[in-house]
Chain A
Amino acid sequence: MLAFLLTGNLSAELIREDAHQRQVLDIAVKLRCAVCQSQSVGESDSELAVEMKAIIGEQLVDGRSEAEIIDYFVQRYGDYILMKPRADGVGSPLWLAPVMVVLLFILVVGWQIGRRAKPANVENQISTQVDQQQRSRLQQLRDKQK
């Protein structure tokens, strides 16, 4: 019975530990490992990354939220530390630009199609108009020659 209780406690402890580790990693993959350029803290085993993961773990135990922990690192390292640029503030053009390009493309293509649907009509009009004008001028010239 005692043994059962002990093992029960132990596995509960292990599960808790596991969930904690996963939480740490969830946050760590959102932070750039400052010394390894394009890796996240979660993927890196560099000394700095290991220490940052330890800090994330401690702050989680202290009851800090993910946003608060990420902000802690941003205050010290700047937005550079974020793997994804912020969607608000200075980072917003980065997120909006592709959307704007696609919208602009659709707009231009739509406009071009709209224009191209007519041209046969328009050119016919112009050419008949021109024909008539030229014909009348030709007639004028002929009248003069007479």
Chain B
Amino acid sequence: MTEPGPGDNQSDMVPNSGGGRGRRGVLMLIPLIVIMMAILFVGLTRNPGEIPSPLIGKTLPAISGVDLDGNTRQLPNIGKPMLLNIWASWCSACVAEHQVIVAAAKRYAGQVDFVGLNYRDKQPDAKRWLSRLGNPYAWSLQDLDGRAGIELGVYGAPETYFIDAEGVIVGKKIGPLNVEYLRDKLVEYFGINS
């Protein structure tokens, strides 16, 4: 027999060419489907309640007002790392979070200032709430109409801003803090251990 001519290969390809094109089309779709599935799964693991704040890396907006005891107060206060916690007596998630903040205020006393923003609350209700659950805050600014909250991009209580000694916002937590999160972030943002 002579060596196989080019005709042998071609005769094999002819009946397949139609099917091969279709299969190649399906194969081309697979990476596309994989990419779309990956995007979907990443999207599903994300919490729609956690939106990064555009204020991170910026100086805390200047806010002045009156605290729960009637003293005039001003933000940002420079000199020491600060946690600005947005809370309200009507906020049920704040109750659980409050234990964490009370404990942390004792543990980190002198290293971090804990300041409250009493968001859309009534002063007597707020004071009663603090006397019942303990007051970890150096002071709590009253935000009766929620304007200070909007200035800070607050969605609702509880929320917490981590502000460094220069008055720059370095982090934000939407929703209640827990012990581990607070401990980790104080190390990460301020290098505070213990």
Least Cβ distance of A136 to chain B in Å? Answer: 9
CB neighbours of A137 from chain B (8 A)? 2, 5, 7
Within 8 A of A (CB), among B1-59: 2, 5-7, 10-11, 14, 48, 51-55
Instruction: Kindly state the separation between the CA atoms of A77 and B52 in the bound complex, as whole angstroms.
Output: 9
Contact A76 B151 (CB under 8 A): yes
Interface contact tally, CB-CB below 8 A: 56
| Total number of B residues with any Cβ neighbor in A under 8 Å | 24
Assess whether A62 is interfacial by the CB under 8 Å rule.
Answer: no
Instruction: Kindly state the separation between the CA atoms of A96 and B40 in the bound complex, as whole angstroms.
Output: 19
Instruction: Kindly state the separation between the CA atoms of A131 and B55 in the bound complex, as whole angstroms.
Output: 76
Within 8 A of A (CB), among B95-148: 120, 145-147
Assess whether B171 is interfacial by the CB under 8 Å rule.
Answer: no
Contact B152 A37 (CB under 8 A): no
CB neighbours of A47 from chain B (8 A)? 120, 146
Out of A35, A78, A123, name the residue touching B14 (CB < 8 Å). Answer: A123
Instruction: Kindly state the separation between the CA atoms of A52 and B145 in the bound complex, as whole angstroms.
Output: 11
Contact B150 A126 (CB under 8 A): no
CB neighbours of B150 from chain A (8 A)? 48, 51-52, 55, 76
Within 8 A of B (CB), among A28-78: 34-35, 37, 47-48, 51-52, 55, 74-78
Instruction: Kindly state the separation between the CA atoms of A123 and B21 in the bound complex, as whole angstroms.
Output: 15
The 4 closest A-B pairs by CB, nearest first: A133-B7, A76-B153, A78-B54, A34-B155
Instruction: Kindly state the separation between the CA atoms of A42 and B156 in the bound complex, as whole angstroms.
Output: 19
Least Cβ distance of B68 to chain A in Å? Answer: 20
Out of A52, A129, A134, A140, name the residue touching B2 (CB < 8 Å). Answer: A140
Contact B5 A48 (CB under 8 A): no
CB neighbours of A127 from chain B (8 A)? 14
Within 8 A of A (CB), among B149-168: 149-153, 155-156
CB neighbours of B5 from chain A (8 A)? 133, 137
Least Cβ distance of B165 to chain A in Å? Answer: 23
CB neighbours of A37 from chain B (8 A)? 48
Which residue of A has the minimal Cβ distance to B6?
Answer: A133
In addition to A48-B155, A133-B7, 7 A-B residue pairs with Cβ atoms within 8 Å of each other are A34-B155, A52-B150, A75-B54, A76-B152, A78-B53, A80-B51, A126-B14
CB neighbours of B145 from chain A (8 A)? 51
Assess whether A14 is interfacial by the CB under 8 Å rule.
Answer: no
